[in-house]
Every structure is written in C-alpha cells, then in structure tokens.
Amino acid sequence: MIAPEEVPSWIVFEDDRLLVVNKPGDVVCHPSKAGPWSSLVGALREYARLPTVHLVFRLDRETSGLVVLAKDPRMASRLQVAMQERKVGKRYSAILTGELAAAVTVDAPLGDDVSSPVFMKSAVVAPGEGQRAVTHFTPKSHAAGFTLASVVTETGRKHQIRAHAQWLGHSLVGDKIYGPDSRCYLDFIDQGWTEALAAKLLLPRQALHCAEIDFRPARVDHVFTAPLADDLRAFLAEKKFVPAVSALPAPPAAPARIDGPGA
C-alpha cells in the first residue's frame, strides 16, 4: 500500500494537463480491488483530487522510473497516439550480468516462451512466429562482472528489454523470470523473498529504471529525467562502479548488430 505522504516526493513535473512521477520499484501502476492507495493510478488520482487520471504508458511493477499520466482525455489521447506511433523517446538504465564489451543492437522477434513454466514469459522466436523487436544496449560502465547500460527500444513488446538481455547472455540483475532460472519467479510467488533467492538474484527486483522520456518528437516541449533509484545506486556502490552514475557517453557511430534466428 502507498502512504499518502510518499506521493509528493515522487512528483517530477505537474501542470494543468500532465503529471509525471518517478515510480519506486515496488508499486503497481494499474488500479486494484484493494482501494486507491494500492496502485500508482489510484494514489495519483487521490493526490490530484480528480475523478480520474489517464495512464499514458505503464511500467512493470518492479521497474522504477518515469511514468506519465494525463489529467484530461484530450492530452491522454494525444500522448497515447504518439506512443503508439513511436514518436516519444524513452531511455532506460539497466544493470546487466556480465560485462558487455560494446554497444549492440538486438533485432530479434519476440513471442511466447512455450517451454517456460512461467506462462507470461516472452522469448526470441523464429521469424514469422512473433513480433519484430529491436533493442539498443550501450554499456556505460563495468565493475565486478556487471554492466551499467543505457537501453533504448525501437519497438514496445512485452518484457522486451528483459527478454533481449537474456537472449544476449546478459540478463538483468534481480530478474526472477529472465534471470538464471524462471522458476525463481514461481518460488517467489510461493514463498516470498528468501535467502536462497537473494543468493541467486542479488536484488529483490529487476535492475531496470526508466530514466528519460522525450516528448519533443510528438511536438510537446518536454524532456523528463529521473535519477537512478536508490536501491540500484546502492548496488553500484557496493560493486564499486566508478563512477557509479555519470553522464552517458555518446553511442558509437556503428554499434554491433545481432539479428534473431533466420534474419
């Protein structure tokens, strides 16, 4: 449950039409049956004292970072259409297992992972069996066998970053579904967070953070940014990343490209 006093500290931007927040990594976006203070949308509706607020796009519960809501239907429709037409720039920060040596683009279709015990899991599939998905990974810094990376997606598929990172061989730290064993997710549902899971996953959530949203391609003059969440900063500090958080380097002119099977 969300405490009302928490919400003001999450606000990144607010005007008469928009509400932008930096969501913590343990908050679900969509309303639930447990009342308004059980979800981000419900809590922000109460905070704004409006009958409704419109979620422009969502983040998975465990993903932290920027979430945009509109206060009126016209702005919501405008931004949702811009999102669908890929006219909104989004950049994520992710902590990957292993040291990613250079920038890489993964162009590999995604579909249901029919071999997984987790029914919601996606996986890279053969052409024609899934939806096209393109993800750009740019390493930012390395330490202790991990990589802090900037991630940009060209497409918006379910669990795209997480599935492509696993296929690349660099799963996100803390990922219960796309990490070392998807049965970690089932164990978590059954038993909660345990010492055994902590030993395997290192973090209690996937290390993914929506760091920037650029609405300028949609002719809305706003670029929003959110610093890396405290738990992810603490992980970087523990692993002695130097610098732990810094300005992103310019991407290389021609990043390596890895195409999916049969491409």
107 in catalytic set: no
Say how far residue 127 (Cα) sits from the centre of its chain: 25
How far is residue 42's CA from residue 19's CA, in Å, rounded to a whole number?
13
| C-alpha closest to that of 137 among 169, 166, 100, 171 | 100
Kindly provide the b/e burial profile for residues 171-183, where b requires at least 16 CB atoms within 10 angstroms of the residue's own CB. bbbbbbbbbeebe
How far is residue 34's CA from residue 13's CA, in Å, rounded to a whole number?
27
Q: Which amino acid is at 194?
A: T
Are the CB atoms for 258 and 104 separated by under 8 Å?
Answer: yes
Please list the residues that pair with 147 across neighbouring strands.
96, 142
For 100-163, the DSSP string reads --S-EEEE--EEE-TTSSSTT-EEE--TTSSB--EEEEEEEEEETTEEEEEEEESS--TTHHHH
The DSSP output letter for 165 is: H
How far is residue 224's CA from residue 79's CA, in Å, rounded to a whole number?
14
- Identify the active-site residue in 16, 60, 112, 221: 60
Cite the active site residues.
60
